[in-house]
Structure 1
Amino acid sequence: MTDELDLLREADPVSADTGPWRDRPLDARAELLLRRLPSRDQGRRTVRRAVWSLEAVAAATILALALTVSGTGSSPAVAAPRPLVAHASRADVPLAQILRRARAAAEDSSERSRRGSHLRTWSLSMESGKDAVTLPQESLSRWNADGSGSLLEVAVDPRHPDRPVIADGTPPRAVHDGKVLRDEKYPAGINGANESYFEDPPAGAPELRAYLAVWSPGADRDPAELISAIESFLAVWTPGPRQRADIVTLLSRIEGLRPAGKVIDRLGREGQAFRFTPASAGMRKLIVLDPDDGSVLDVEETVTRDDPEYRLKAGDVMSYKAWVS
């Protein structure tokens, strides 16, 4: 037991200031560190990775349902998604210009942020020495001021990865070409599925960063934590123009966020991509913004170095999120 604890302490996948980890899944960097622990102990047999995030566990369930998504007579597609390809050109929209557009849109609109989100997610799930991928998942959540709400999660047919399968609108909501995994209704309160970010987000970039840091300690000083906190926030809220402008403001202040070029995102939309590579994390983030209003369209995470034990190559996609609306 002592050896295992020493390895965990050395890897430090969740440091003391990484936030309320007991209430949320580990991020991709933490999972990768944990997966590498067995290979760092040469005298130990290869074992399954120690910790799966809640997202990966759900993804494994989706894989088991793959045949029911496409029908009993067909086989599911099991190829991991290819990374988004950005093309730099003179027509690229700089982040500063996107920020100006987002601020202008905020000045001309009284629309407020809305509790709930509609997004597509995917994450790689692996065992040592084996290839294993999962199906994409689409979720739609809607929350009311009193904390009541609903959550619908669907496993998506991978043959049509760029087509939303949940039709938003007044319940019951239609589901096309997918397998319903969860369809939950929650009573008033904040102790159900909507535990985080239950307070209305504030106006102003500094205030929003402080708000994010309440739920993700480190977001007020660590760029990687800030980006992860924005992702978590967008899984609970659909921001209005003011919060969109504040998010772009926060992104524009991240040192090391570099323009990557135009890209067609996971849902077929044209966006402007920006790369961020945290120091010594082994991961790279690609953030795709709507160049017209600053909406976050996608966040993709790829590995930056090969990992033969888990059959990972530099550039492989570890996870992505694509916001439908």
Structure 2
Amino acid sequence: MTDELDLLREANPVSADSGPWRDRPLDGRAELLLRRLPSRDRRRRTVRRRAVWSLGAAAAATVVALALTVSGTGSSPAVAAPRPLPLVAHASRADVPLADIVRRTRAAAEESPGKSERGSHFQSWALGMKSGEDAVTLPRESLTRWNADGSGSTLEVATDPRHPGRPVIEDGPPPRTVHDGKVLSEDHYPPGIYGANQSYFEDPPAGASALRTYLAVWSPGADRDPVELLSAIQSFLRVWTPGPRQRADIVTLLSGIEGMRPAGKVTDRLGREGQGFRFTGTPGSRYLIVLDPDDGRVLDVEETVTEDDPEYRVKAGDVMSYTAYMS
């Protein structure tokens, strides 16, 4: 209870000079501060950034990876598979500048604003590290869908890393697993939930500035730090599938990140062609963001190491994590 009280006091949603507070709703500032509390609490518990897992998480990943085998006789554990190679970008005269993608997405949004949909479908991979030991890998595919009555389901499957990019979940009513994979979790939600137990449960607003503020409610720092902003966009895309308007807003936010540089054309792990942009974040890490040059969809976000780290047995150029958004 002490931790919760400390967080509430620090947030100070209703200050001493804000006038009588009884029997009246909180104002906008107070609502914003209260909503930030869960995210701030999560930040306090983050010991090390850049996908360095806790001992418990690493141990759990090891168990899953050891249990995940390829179907058929004589199968072997998927944990023995090599780490993925970084995506390769090829610069050419046909590259589409980020400013042009912004203009395209803005024009498309004005013509047909559309609507963002709750739910997402993505593949992800992360390098779990523990000092002095070989890294643990756990590739996953996740599908979340919501119905008109607020009911929904989430299916998460551990995939075989020897077949990167091969979908293991078939979207449909209901979703089902295909190919090799081990179900990590499968949850069903009753009507009326609509993801209220998730971050970003409210409908996203229109406008890049408003979207940045919305993201910062759940990811404090996203309104001022480019690394936090990029992290918040990734988290948002795990909850929502943006419509044209939100895609335009996301691309606009990315275009405003200082240091975002064109990288060239990229064929991602799902065989899709996109336009790559690089961004050097915190010292020792670099991001590659792959966009669909026609509609501005974020196809992939990949983080690589730029410096050797003998303690965690990683070398410059190693992939730290990647996410491929499929919906």
TM-score under structure 1 length normalisation? 0.81
Distance 1:235 1:25, change over 3 A: farther
- The 3 A distance-change label for structure 1 pair 317 and 53 is farther
Match of 2:217 among 214, 218, 237: 214
Instruction: Tell me if 1:117 matches 2:136.
Output: no
Change (3 A) 1:168 1:104: same
Report if the CA contact (8 A) 1:63-1:135 is conserved. yes
- 2:85 equivalent in structure 1: 82
Name the structure 2 match of 1:247: 250
Match of 1:300 among 299, 302, 305: 302
Query: Deviation at 1:283?
Result: 1.1
Partner of 2:315: 313
**Whole-Å Cα distance in 2 between the matches of residues 113 and 224 of structure 1?**
24
Deviation at 1:88, TM superposition (A): 1.2
The CA deviation string for residues 62-101 of structure 1, in whole angstroms up to 9 with x for no partner, is: 312222x444622234211111111111111100111111
Q: C-alpha separation between the residues in 2 aligned to 1:21 and 1:204?
A: 25
Residue of structure 2 equivalent to 1:176: 179
Does the 8 A contact of 2:227 with 2:282 survive in 1?
no
Q: Name the residue aligned to 1:226.
A: 229
Structure 2 Cα separation of the partners of residues 298 and 53 of structure 1: 28
Once the two structures are superposed, the pairs formed by residues 66-215 of structure 1 within 5 Å of their partners are 66-67=68-69, 69-71=70-72, 73-75=74-76, 76=78, 77-144=80-147, 147-188=150-191, 194-215=197-218
How many residue pairs are counted as aligned between the two chains? 290
Looking at structure 1, the residues matched to 295 and 60 of structure 2 have their Cα atoms a distance apart, in angstroms, of 33
With over 3 angstroms needed to count, the CA separation of the structure-2 counterparts of 1:53 and 1:31, relative to structure 1, is: farther
User: 2:264 is matched with which residue?
Assistant: 261
Aligned partners of 1:82 and 1:25: how far apart in 2? 32
> Unaligned regions of 5+ residues in structure 1, if any?
1-16, 36-48
**Alignment counterpart, residue 238 of structure 1, candidates 238, 241, 244:** 241
Is the 1:31–1:52 contact (alpha carbons within 8 Å) kept by the matching residues of 2?
Answer: no
Matches within 5 A, 1:51-62: 51=54, 59-62=61-64
- Per-residue CA distance 1:232-255 (angstroms, 9 max, x = gap): 000000000100000000001111
Q: CA deviation at 1:189?
A: 5.8
Distance in structure 1 (CA, Å) of the matches to 2:83 and 2:278: 21
Q: 1:159 to 1:231 in 2, by over 3 A?
A: same
The residue aligned with 1:287 is 289
Give the distance between the partners of 2:252 and 2:236, measured in 1 at CA: 15
CA distance in 2: counterparts of 1:24 and 1:57, whole angstroms: 22
Asked if 2 retains the 8 angstrom alpha-carbon contact of 1:102 and 1:244, the reply is: yes
Q: Which amino acid aligns with 1:311?
A: R
The answer to whether the Cα contact below 8 Å between 2:95 and 2:264 also exists between their aligned partners in 1 is yes
Map of 1:10 onto structure 2: none
Partner of 2:204, secondary structure, is coil
Query: Could you say if the C-alpha distance between residues 292 and 192 of structure 1 is closer, same or farther in structure 2, counting changes exceeding 3 Å?
Result: closer
1:259-305 per-position Cα deviation (integer Å, ceiling 9, x unaligned):
1111111211111111111243x211111101111000000011110
Instruction: Give the gaps of 5 or more residues in structure 2.
Output: 1-35
CA deviation profile, 1:207-240 (whole Å, cap 9, x unmatched): 1001001111111111111000000000000000
Is the 1:86–1:273 Cα contact (8 Å) retained in structure 2?
yes
Conserved in 2, the CA contact under 8 Å of 1:19 and 1:216? no
CA contact (8 A) 1:194 1:236 kept: no
Equivalent AA in structure 2 for residue 196 of structure 1: S
Classify 1:194/1:271 alpha carbon distance in 2 versus 1 (closer, same or farther; 3 Å). Answer: farther
Q: Look up the SS of the partner of 2:136 in the other structure.
A: coil
- Give me the whole-angstrom Cα distance separating, in 1, the residues matched to 2:55 and 2:177: 31
In structure 2, the partner of 1:275 is: 278
Aligned equivalents of 2:313, 2:177: Cα separation in 1: 38
The residue identity in structure 1 corresponding to 2:204 is P
| Residue type of the alignment partner of 1:234 | L
- Per-residue deviation at 1:60? 3.4
How far is the alpha carbon of 1:194 from its aligned partner? 4.0
Return the TM-score normalized by structure 2: 0.80
Whether the aligned pair in 1 keeps the contact of 2:55 and 2:130 (CA below 8 Å) is no
Other-structure match for 1:40: none
CA deviation digits over 1:129-175, x for unaligned, max 9?
Answer: 33233241100011346653211011112232122111112114343
Q: State whether structure 2 residue 39 is matched by structure 1 residue 20.
A: yes
Change (3 A) 1:89 1:165: same
2:122 aligned counterpart, secondary structure: strand
Aligned to 2:325: 323
3-state SS in 1 of match to 2:128: coil
Alpha carbons 2:129, 2:312 under 8 Å: kept = yes
